[in-house]
Structures are given as C-alpha cells and as structure tokens.
Structure 1
Amino acid sequence: MYKHVFLTGPPGVGKTTLVKKACETLAGSGEILDGFYTEEVRERGRRVGFDVVTLSGNRGRLSRVGDSSTHSAGRQYRVGQYAVDLLSFENLVLPLFRNVGVAAVSGGKRSVLVVDEIGKMELFSQQFVRAVKQALEGNGCSILGTIPIPRGKLMAVVEEVRSSSDVKVFTVTKDNRDVILPCVVAAVQECLKAGAP
C-alpha cells in the first residue's frame, strides 16, 4: 500500500497545475493540507525566476536570473542562469514540515503535505533533504509532490522517491494531464486511509 503520491513529467507539462487542482478537491472533501508549490515569476513576458508559495498564501523568493545578492554564507547556489535564495526558501518551507507533524499528532488525522517540487534548486538545502526524508519515512502525513524526470546527473533523493515501494508515481503528459486528476486525488485519499490510526 502506498503512503505518498508524486507527479513527474517534463517542465511545463502542468504538474503544478494538477497539484493545485488536487488540493482544491481534497480540501473540499475535508482533508487537512499544508505545503508549498513553486511559481514562475515573469516581468514583461520574460521568466526572471521562481517563487515558493505556501498553501496559506505566503510567498518567498526561490531564485532569480543572475541575482548576485542571493547567496548563503559567502557561497552562491546556481542552476543555469538562476541564483537560488536558499535562506528565503528555508525560512518559508522548513516550518511547513514541522507544522504538518504537529497537526497530525494533535488532530489524530493524517494530513497531506504538498511538496512541489523536489528539484535541483530545492536540493541545495540539506535541511530540506533531511525534512523530506523524515516525512517520507514518518507516519504523520502523506506527501503529494512533484519530481523532475531523470535528465543528466541523477539526484539521489529524487531517485529514492521514484524507486520507493511506498510511493505511487504518475507521469504527467500533454495527453493525460486533463484527465488524470481523479486518479491522483483517489490515490492520495487511499494513502490517507491506509495510514489512518
């Protein structure tokens, strides 16, 4: 039986849109959700970076094009043209992992932790990596997340997620993205039932 659900597929195929729609459906059926998704930041029609947005509406910077001010302890983290703002990311995202565990213990009901995504930018944070691993191994929540398709150098945590017997992975394509939502929602609900006390 699965404990977590992840979506994978090429960039821009609609993974985040599917996650948002699944969250709306799950919240509408009374499930407890917390977590974050990533969103493009555009200026004059051009993508200039990414922000992290929590389900409660808080927003923080994840990366910007060529921004030399986004470094941590003198080290700059970069993915292609994007400089990653590790401090901003960690300040917004790490408390979500702690909160979801507390909510589950106090409410006695498993909750859904949305993690969109586990990708190159996010994996610069060792604290994030540890938090993801603990959430995957723990019983306090089911994760609804996204991971990139394998390309180039494999990312250890992403491959752990992909190969875990506890994880159901859906591959999102242009052909199925408009019809796969009920399957994703049903899989998350099954995970919650399977882990219920």
Structure 2
Amino acid sequence: MHASSEAGPTVFGGTYSRVSDRGVVAAQACEKERAAVHRKAGNGAAGLGSSRDEERGERGWQPKHRGLFSPLPRARGWREGGRGSARAPATAGRFPAATRTEAPAMAKHVFLTGPPGIGKTTLIQKVTEVLKSSGIPIDGFYTEEVREGGRRIGFDVVTLSGRRGILSRVGSGPSTARREYRVGQYVVDLMSFEQLALPLLRNPDLASSTAKKVCIIDEIGKMELFSQSFIQAVRQILTGSGTVILGTIPVPKGKPLGLVEEIRSRKEVKVFNITKENRDSILQDIVAAVQSCLK
C-alpha cells in the first residue's frame, strides 16, 4: 500500500508543501544531486547547499535553505549588540570616543567678590603685606569706611603710601546740584577720587621695567564707576601685560555694572568668592594666585 499523502509539512526549497513519504525521499535525493553539481561547478549558491552549509552541518544542524525559520547571514566584523535587535560593529566599544578639551586660560589678574562687610578689604590688606614682604613691587588704593559717633558717614580712598582722600559722604538732603553723583544716601566726590586714584593707575613706573607689578584696586563699584577716566584706566591695565590687578568687585545686585560684569566674565581673571566660611582660610590661596600671575 501507498503511504498517506497527508504526511505533514516538509521544508523543500524554502517553502512548505504536502507530499507523500515516497515523494519526500525522492526530493531529498534530487536536492543532493543538485548540490553536488553546483559544488563541482564552483557555484556555492546559498539556497542550493554551498560548501559553507556543509561545514555548518558538521558542527551541528543548520537549515540549507532560507526558509521562514532560517537566520539571516551575519556579515564579518559585526556582532549582536546595542538596543533590541540592532547590530553594532565588532570594533564598537574598543576605542574611547575622541573628546576635545581646551586648556584653561592662564590668569593675569585676581579679584575678590562677596557681600558688603564680608571682609574683602581686610583680605586685600593682608595679601598686600605678604606681597610686600616678598619684595614684590606693589601700589594702589583701598576703600575704608568713615565713622562718626558709631555711625557710618561715608568712605575714603586710602593709598598704600598712606595718602587719604574723600570718596563719598552722607548727603544732607535731596540733590539740588546739576552734577551730583549719588549712591543711595551717599554723595560721591568724583574730583577727590580721581585726583587720588588715577595717578596710581597711570603711574609710568608700573611699566618702566620688565618685572611685573601689582596694582591694588579696592574697589570697582558704583561710586568709582561714575568716573569714565577710571574705567578707561582699569581697562588699559586689564589688557596690558606689565601689571597684575588685585582688586575687589561687588556681587551682582540690581542693574548690572558694565565693567564689573566684563571683569567677571574675562577668561584671564581669577575671581574668589569670599564667604564667612572661607574668609579665615583663603589667604594663602589668594597669595598663590597673585604670585602665579606674576610668573
């Protein structure tokens, strides 16, 4: 008797068909003959059973035909990886991604910033003493409160040589003068300030030799910035190369001050933020930063 023609699904040439058991045997023999002919002709067609398929058969069963259950061929140099079923190059992950870093600009000037009364001027005076004891040429000015009966009545400009001049005083009432400069309750004596401060910034001795000098500017704030001549002198030192500024600037508050924000954003300026937590321990860091600028 003949076997039933409904023997079940059999893979043939990558498709499914229902054939008799005898037909299955004949089809397999035919397939072997076709594969042998192609191997002899040097044609290793993947769908007809190449020599690589035979090698796979030696290692374990692999389908000879690209049917529904056959895996896709893997390209050389690729491996499975990445998200989901994505494939990544075999070299992926072997070499770190190239990164581009820019060397930080070397500081040329040092500034301290912080809220009023935090101790910026006190630190400036201490740094000045350390630098003087090291024999470093230094000049400039700092700002000092003026008190009367325990009440602050204004500010003076004091040079490192001991000269003193008025920066501002508490006004007696609303401004009546056409050219009066005010910051809150204080009236700025612009002429007094310029007569004392500008010669220090324009001192030709600061650039008379190849050795760098230090210029103290405490501070660059609202009162001092009424002077356009002062602004120009500070900018000239900032862009020069013979003088290192050790100065102070206020923290941002209200309307931005042009020169202050310019200083804060300059790459060649090192800014120290003075707080109650660090003001007693930051002195050596400031001294080291100034000395580095002098090299």
Aligned to 2:142: 37
What runs of 5+ residues in structure 1 fail to find an aligned partner?
none
Identity of aligned residues (%): 65
Is the contact made by 2:143 and 2:157 (CA closer than 8 Å) also made in structure 1? yes
Q: Which stretches of structure 1, 4 residues or longer, exceed 4 Å deviation after superposition?
A: none
CA RMSD of aligned residues (A): 1.5
Amino acid at match of 1:47: R
Aligned to 1:10: 115
Deviation at 1:91, TM superposition (A): 0.1
Distance 1:6 1:186 in 2: 13
Amino acid at match of 2:207: V
Tell me if 1:174 matches 2:276: yes
What runs of 5+ residues in structure 2 fail to find an aligned partner?
1-105
From 252, 272, 277, the equivalent of 1:150 is: 252
Larger Rg: 2
Is the contact made by 1:71 and 1:84 (CA closer than 8 Å) also made in structure 2? no
Distance 1:56 1:67 in 2: 32
Structure possessing the higher relative contact order (Cα contacts under 8 Å, 6 or more residues apart): 1
Distance 1:106 1:148 in 2: 31
Distance 2:113 2:176 in 1: 29
Higher strand share: 1
Distance 1:32 1:107 in 2: 11
Aligned to 2:290: 188
Distance 1:71 1:26 in 2: 45
Superposition TM-score, scaled by structure 2 size: 0.62
Is the contact made by 1:71 and 1:77 (CA closer than 8 Å) also made in structure 2? no
Deviation at 1:71, TM superposition (A): 9.9
Aligned to 2:263: 161
Superposition TM-score, scaled by structure 1 size: 0.93
Distance 1:67 1:6 in 2: 34
Aligned to 1:88: 192
CA spacing shift, 1:89–1:61, aligned 2, 3 Å: same
Aligned to 1:59: 164
